[in-house]
Amino acid sequence: MLQLLNIKKMKKSILSLVTISLLSSSLFAGDVRVGGFINVVAGINDMDNSQKDIISGYDDKINFQAHSLAGIQFNADVANNMGAVVQLIAQKSDANDDIRMEWGYVSYDVNDEILILAGRVRPSLFLYSNYLDVGYAYTWITPPSEVYYQAQITNLDGLNISYDLELEDSTISLNIYGGNSSGEKINPADNTHLDFSYDNIYGTELSYTNDYMKIRAGYINALATQNPVPPYPAEIVFDDSKAQFYGLGISVDYEDILFASEYTIRDMDETVAPDVTSYYAMLGYKMGDFTTSYTYSVADSDMEFSTVADLSVAGMVNGARASQLDDRTTNTLNVRYDLNSAAALKVEYSMCTKTNSSFNGTTTLTEKDEDINTLSVALNVVF
């Protein structure tokens, strides 16, 4: 702090010497506030490495890396109605530590009702999208993957405009955003990486919030492109393919009762990625510093068979489509213990029944159920 003050003093004297009035405004812009969060998460399931669960990243050896991360956020006031926020997240990804910017925007308060964010923002796709990485803020270790895994877009570069109408004891908010984004996905067939880009993203969210409840409805639309294109027939290649999500959600935090439920539909133009309907319901009860919750979550996907006359092409298309089918039902039990006002310890046990689909070369799908039991433990801290 002392050093900072000295730097400020030094800057001031340098500035007064050269009298650059333009720069001097930054001296009076106030300080930069720093905060952050850390999730230390370990998980294990009963699948051997060859059948590793792609969604959780776990197998039968304890894994501390798949879901652990650290985030740091800087907030600054640029002017009376203008602020800047940067949130960086460091997480293990493949062989390297990956640092990415989740939030990075300039905010402008038009008035108490209208707020404009320009830069990198998180689209409000789901109930918990805006603080997905801040494990401390919700009761699970990760929100139900049946719903949250359906969207690869976690942030976009563009604009977000929100309008908040304050009523006596509640708020009605309308959020509109647009921009573009790019991301990476692991191809489950051969573990190679596929780059995705999403253009012409636009979406909206309407929500009602009071002291103990939030109800929301959201919609997002984007054009998806995949690169490099794997050696697939044109039928199953993403190239400006329309992707749409619809979502409804409710969360309640009333006295000692917690409840949350979401329902989402993913609608893909191209059929290599199936249309998915997913939902969950969570009920929790607080006893002092302990919160116990049970969650039931489902993802249900649909496949259309290829009608291409060439049987070898049809076989390849249908095989690729079948490998993308994602049907899961999970029962999750979670206990959260609030160690203090900034740290929570969580233990979670989930039992997932996953349906593996394969195409047998004719026109029928072979489905085989597989059970995955996962135990995970997390320490979530905010500072």
Partner 1 sequence: MKKIITIIALLGSTLFADIAVVTNPSNGVGSLDASQVKKIFMAKTKKFPNGKSVVTIDQNTGNDAYSTFYKKIAGKSPAKMNKYWVKLTFTGKAEAPKKVGGDSDVINTIKSNPNTIGYIDSSAVTGDVKVLYTVK
Residues in touch with partner 1 (CB under 8 A): 33, 35, 37, 71, 73, 75, 80, 83, 85, 87, 103, 105, 107, 109, 112, 115, 117, 122, 130-131, 133-134, 136-137, 164, 166, 168-169, 171, 211-212, 253, 338, 341-342, 382
| Cβ at position 43, least distance to partner 1 in Å | 23
Q: Which lies closer to partner 1 via its Cβ, residue 247 or residue 274?
A: 247
| Cβ at position 152, least distance to partner 1 in Å | 20
Q: Which lies closer to partner 1 via its Cβ, residue 16 or residue 171?
A: 171
Q: Which lies closer to partner 1 via its Cβ, residue 168 or residue 190?
A: 168
Q: Which lies closer to partner 1 via its Cβ, residue 115 or residue 317?
A: 115
DSSP lists the bridge partners of residue 70 as 38, 90
| Cβ at position 353, least distance to partner 1 in Å | 32
Contacts of 271 (CB under 8 A, 6+ apart): 235, 236, 303, 304, 321
| Cβ at position 103, least distance to partner 1 in Å | 6
What are 361's two structure tokens? 């070369």
Q: Which lies closer to partner 1 via its Cβ, residue 136 or residue 359?
A: 136
| Cβ at position 254, least distance to partner 1 in Å | 10
